[in-house]
Chain A
């Protein structure tokens, strides 16, 4: 990162932290958690312990981190090396990200940035300027992406509260500060589960590894009555809805399923993971020693804040999580696609100098599509 950009982001992040101590708190049982942070242009520092909000705020002011993290795990000795921490339990956390949903809008707001010459262009095979094929993708997610992720979050919520019977008082949803949402389950009997057990739970939520026998089609003598019903609870009901559509089509569909055979049915069930499985990130949920972005802190991939959503359906991250001030800043921007923040449209920019509010400048510098003018 260029020196001017680095200085700008550090000052902006520091100002944000100073102005928003009210949003940044240590979570429950802070003494048992591990903290970590990253600075701009530098690696991760982990295995820290912070006991109170005061400790946290002091750390933010002293180090001006680009990103701040806190563990889902609870330990006896959170600041010792991993093997000596003495793991007790971990909150169950799910991550749903727009990039994993394969939405059709994605191609409309994605660009590539050449690693060799920093040229920004629409997606193509090689850099149009230097022909390098070392390219980074830059995505500025749109409202459609956010709606897609919200839909997945709501599907996940249904499984958590009904199939898994988790009290919704113990579930918290946060915007991740970039392209997705984190769903936290705390104080539940699931906290004690290890990685392997969580992996099994993940397969359940993603509807992975389902077998035909469980969904009504044994190897020998399949019976019409054993197929799932639309009114069934859990996956049986969801599979029935996906398979039959409506009650009236059930009988006809079963006849076809049986005549197509068990292997075809297995294939159908496998495909269903794409349509009815919830698209959570397996690596996140199975990790019981992970550190997660701290709620209230800024995400250095966007300059947006990670925030708890009280009402996910109404939550608009590009307004509510955009908390940096709006003082004008001169930038040199280069991004051929439009985007919107705080109800204001920006771009496209064809390698031009422009003046934008600080939150938009921070967003673009974080995304690597603008520089602070004066370089």
Chain B
């Protein structure tokens, strides 16, 4: 595990061992639930989740040196208490939203640290995060960071924009050259995944009276994202699985989303009916979702192609197939159920 200084822990609180940190600072969880002087931290923690739910990045002021002493613990504590509240709520939708927002926040610090020529320690620490957490060895060369091609490809395939394709990168001697911004952007998804998995694997503490009200409010907050879908037995297992993943607020891969949208369009559902299904996705943006479904439906797009639901074979190769005997040798999910009539 990376050893952390005060400054680093405030920027990257997800690296801390939560329980140990509180103990080191001489606090117990119970104190946060009961001590009125610490209520401000619990309030901050709630705000932090709330802003994440609204897709805002919680970005505290770390730069003012006069505030440093007091600001630091508040930031770390509010992060740790936010996790406690999220664990108590058990709401995956909020955990995913929170992880993404915290990743964006950390991304800003990472980027700043990578370019801070004056602060060698911060730069080394940022490079260490790349290496220890994401197994990406980056080295500074002039104003660029260089990454071995295989490491680059493993992360870059998550992007669909052409600028991320290897052919559109400066490649030399087995290395890809990236700006600090690009280096950090490359690992964003991994970063939020890392934060999410750390939260999910943390122990759930027992409920204290002082937290109860906040946890209740989180449930109300999460209701905005809950979709009541009617899943009939006529959906094939791959589609049911995809809907289930989205309902749980987990990330469904690009090919999974494409499969779901094309299937439902094929079954005659409208964009208005389909779009809300994606509401729980950690990166949900209504405008973008509607635009993408419209593209797939052939309503918009360059050549107005209406995309068909991918074949079972393709779905299998994308690890999205959950075949059951009911599938009855069909070759495309669209055929599901038809044969039995």
Query: A and B, one complex?
Result: yes
- Chain A positions within 8 Å of B, measured between CB atoms, are 162-166, 189-190, 192-193, 196-197, 199-201, 203-204, 207-211, 213-214, 233-236
11 contacts between A and B (CB under 8 A): A163-B174, A165-B174, A193-B154, A200-B156, A201-B166, A203-B165, A209-B165, A210-B167, A211-B163, A214-B167, A234-B171
Q: Interface code B149-168, partner A: CB below 8 Å = 1, 0 otherwise?
A: 11001101100001101111
Contact, CB under 8 Å: B163 / A164: no
Report if B172 contacts A (CB, 8 A). yes
Q: Give, as a whole number of angstroms, the nearest-CB distance from A300 to chain B.
A: 27
Contacting residues, chain B, for A197 (C-beta < 8 A) = 150, 153-154, 157
Q: Say yes or no: A211-B174 contact (C-beta < 8 A), given A196-B157, A197-B150.
A: no
Expressed in whole angstroms, the Cα–Cα distance for A209 and B165 within the complex equals 8
Closest residue of chain B to A83 (Cβ to Cβ) is: B316
Instruction: Given contact pairs A163-B171, A209-B167, enumerate 8 new A-B contacts (beta carbons under 8 Å).
Output: A164-B171, A203-B167, A204-B171, A209-B168, A211-B163, A211-B168, A214-B167, A233-B172
Q: Say yes or no: A204-B167 contact (C-beta < 8 A), given A165-B174, A197-B157, A209-B162.
A: yes
Contact, CB under 8 Å: B150 / A162: no
Contact, CB under 8 Å: B165 / A201: no
Report if B173 contacts A (CB, 8 A). yes
Closest residue of chain B to A214 (Cβ to Cβ) is: B168
Q: Give, as a whole number of angstroms, the nearest-CB distance from B151 to chain A.
A: 8
Contacting residues, chain A, for B167 (C-beta < 8 A) = 203-204, 207-210, 214, 235
Expressed in whole angstroms, the Cα–Cα distance for A209 and B168 within the complex equals 8
Expressed in whole angstroms, the Cα–Cα distance for A199 and B170 within the complex equals 18
Expressed in whole angstroms, the Cα–Cα distance for A236 and B172 within the complex equals 10
Contact, CB under 8 Å: A189 / B166: no
Contact, CB under 8 Å: A200 / B153: yes
Nearest 3 Cβ contacts at the A-B interface = A165-B174, A214-B168, A197-B153
Expressed in whole angstroms, the Cα–Cα distance for A208 and B165 within the complex equals 10
Contact, CB under 8 Å: B168 / A162: no
Contact, CB under 8 Å: A193 / B170: no
Contacting residues, chain B, for A207 (C-beta < 8 A) = 167
Expressed in whole angstroms, the Cα–Cα distance for A37 and B170 within the complex equals 43
Report if B148 contacts A (CB, 8 A). yes
Closest residue of chain A to B167 (Cβ to Cβ) is: A204
Expressed in whole angstroms, the Cα–Cα distance for A208 and B154 within the complex equals 19
Contact of B162 among A162, A193, A211, A235 (CB under 8 A): A211
Contacting residues, chain B, for A199 (C-beta < 8 A) = 157
Contact of A234 among B148, B165, B172 (CB under 8 A): B172
Report if B169 contacts A (CB, 8 A). yes
Within 8 A of A (CB), among B168-215: 168-175
Expressed in whole angstroms, the Cα–Cα distance for A78 and B179 within the complex equals 42
Expressed in whole angstroms, the Cα–Cα distance for A199 and B174 within the complex equals 17
Contact, CB under 8 Å: B150 / A163: no
Expressed in whole angstroms, the Cα–Cα distance for A164 and B150 within the complex equals 9
Contacting residues, chain B, for A163 (C-beta < 8 A) = 171-174
Closest residue of chain A to B157 (Cβ to Cβ) is: A196
Closest residue of chain A to B165 (Cβ to Cβ) is: A209
Closest residue of chain A to B149 (Cβ to Cβ) is: A164
Contacting residues, chain A, for B149 (C-beta < 8 A) = 164-165, 190, 201
Q: Say yes or no: A193-B169 contact (C-beta < 8 A), given A165-B174, A211-B162, A214-B163.
A: no
Expressed in whole angstroms, the Cα–Cα distance for A211 and B162 within the complex equals 7
Closest residue of chain B to A189 (Cβ to Cβ) is: B150
Contact, CB under 8 Å: A193 / B153: yes
Q: Say yes or no: A214-B148 contact (C-beta < 8 A), given A164-B174, A193-B153.
A: no
Closest residue of chain B to A190 (Cβ to Cβ) is: B150
Contact of A193 among B150, B163, B165, B168 (CB under 8 A): B150
Closest residue of chain A to B155 (Cβ to Cβ) is: A197
Expressed in whole angstroms, the Cα–Cα distance for A162 and B157 within the complex equals 23
Contact, CB under 8 Å: B148 / A203: no
Q: Give, as a whole number of angstroms, the nearest-CB distance from A86 to chain B.
A: 15
Expressed in whole angstroms, the Cα–Cα distance for A166 and B150 within the complex equals 12
Expressed in whole angstroms, the Cα–Cα distance for A190 and B151 within the complex equals 9
Contact, CB under 8 Å: B153 / A162: no
Expressed in whole angstroms, the Cα–Cα distance for A211 and B174 within the complex equals 21
Q: Give, as a whole number of angstroms, the nearest-CB distance from A162 to chain B.
A: 7
Contact of A189 among B148, B169, B173 (CB under 8 A): B148
Q: Interface code B288-325, partner A: CB below 8 Å = 1, 0 otherwise?
A: 00000000000000000000000000000000000000
Q: Interface code B124-167, partner A: CB below 8 Å = 1, 0 otherwise?
A: 00000000000000000000000011100110110000110111
Listed residue (B148, B167, B169) with the most chain A CB atoms within 10 angstroms of its CB: B167
Closest residue of chain B to A166 (Cβ to Cβ) is: B174
Expressed in whole angstroms, the Cα–Cα distance for A209 and B156 within the complex equals 15
Q: Give, as a whole number of angstroms, the nearest-CB distance from A195 to chain B.
A: 8
Q: Give, as a whole number of angstroms, the nearest-CB distance from A164 to chain B.
A: 6
Contact, CB under 8 Å: B153 / A201: yes
Contacting residues, chain A, for B150 (C-beta < 8 A) = 189-190, 192-193, 197
Contacting residues, chain B, for A235 (C-beta < 8 A) = 167, 171
Contacting residues, chain B, for A193 (C-beta < 8 A) = 150, 153-154
Closest residue of chain A to B166 (Cβ to Cβ) is: A204
Closest residue of chain B to A163 (Cβ to Cβ) is: B171
Q: Give, as a whole number of angstroms, the nearest-CB distance from A268 to chain B.
A: 15
Contact, CB under 8 Å: B165 / A200: yes
Q: Give, as a whole number of angstroms, the nearest-CB distance from A48 to chain B.
A: 23
Contact, CB under 8 Å: B174 / A214: no
Expressed in whole angstroms, the Cα–Cα distance for A162 and B149 within the complex equals 12
Contact, CB under 8 Å: A214 / B169: yes
Expressed in whole angstroms, the Cα–Cα distance for A236 and B167 within the complex equals 10
Expressed in whole angstroms, the Cα–Cα distance for A211 and B153 within the complex equals 18
Contact, CB under 8 Å: A236 / B168: no
